[in-house]
Structure 1
Amino acid sequence: MKPVTPDAALAAVVGADPLPRTELTKKLWDYIKSNNLQNPENKREIIADEALKKVFDGRDKVTMFEMTKLVSGHVAS
């Protein structure tokens, strides 16, 4: 997979180094799980902390599917 470069908002969560999308997604999930940001009542929902709100366009929570779309707007090929 071709590496992508995260912008400043996403780099605050996954680091600034270029990495393949698969690795970027893994790091994002590691961050979500280590900070306990999954909604316990609906595991498909991610509750944003301050760093993720910048990636999620200011939203307080998003679904896994929305997250994928929003993250795509924060990477450069």
Structure 2
Amino acid sequence: MADTKKNNALQKPMTPSSELAAVVGSGQLSRGECVSKIWDYIKKNNLQNPSNKREIIADAKLKPVFGGKDKVSMFEMNKHLAAHLK
């Protein structure tokens, strides 16, 4: 029964940084919701590398979130997102 009360870190409401808010909005959202919104943005703007779908190509809005990098892997992206959620 204790499992139902356990607060999942992915569901805890967090506040995005101003850089991340430019992509996902400024309201509080969980890490899971944030990742989902980022993926919606990536797909809507066709930012996946066609020859390597695991690679995300940063546009002007994503670059500050990705620490100024032009492209990051899916796994690296989550690390960058974590730094922008407080």
**TM-score normalised by the chain length of structure 1:** 0.96
The CA RMSD over aligned residues, in Å, is 0.5
| Percent identity of equivalent pairs | 62
Instruction: State yes or no: 1:5 paired with 2:15.
Output: yes
**TM-score normalised by the chain length of structure 2:** 0.87
**Which residues of 2 match residues 1-77 of structure 1 at below 5 A?**
1-76=11-86
Q: How many residues align?
A: 76
SS in 2 for 1:10: helix
5+ residue gaps, structure 2: 1-10
Q: Distance in 1 between matches of 2:23 and 2:39?
A: 10
Bigger strand share: 1
SS in 2 for 1:19: coil
String of CA shifts for 1:5-51, please: whole Å, max 9, x gaps: 10000000000000111111100000000000000000000000011
- Bigger Rg over Cα: 2
Moved beyond 6 Å, runs of 4+: none
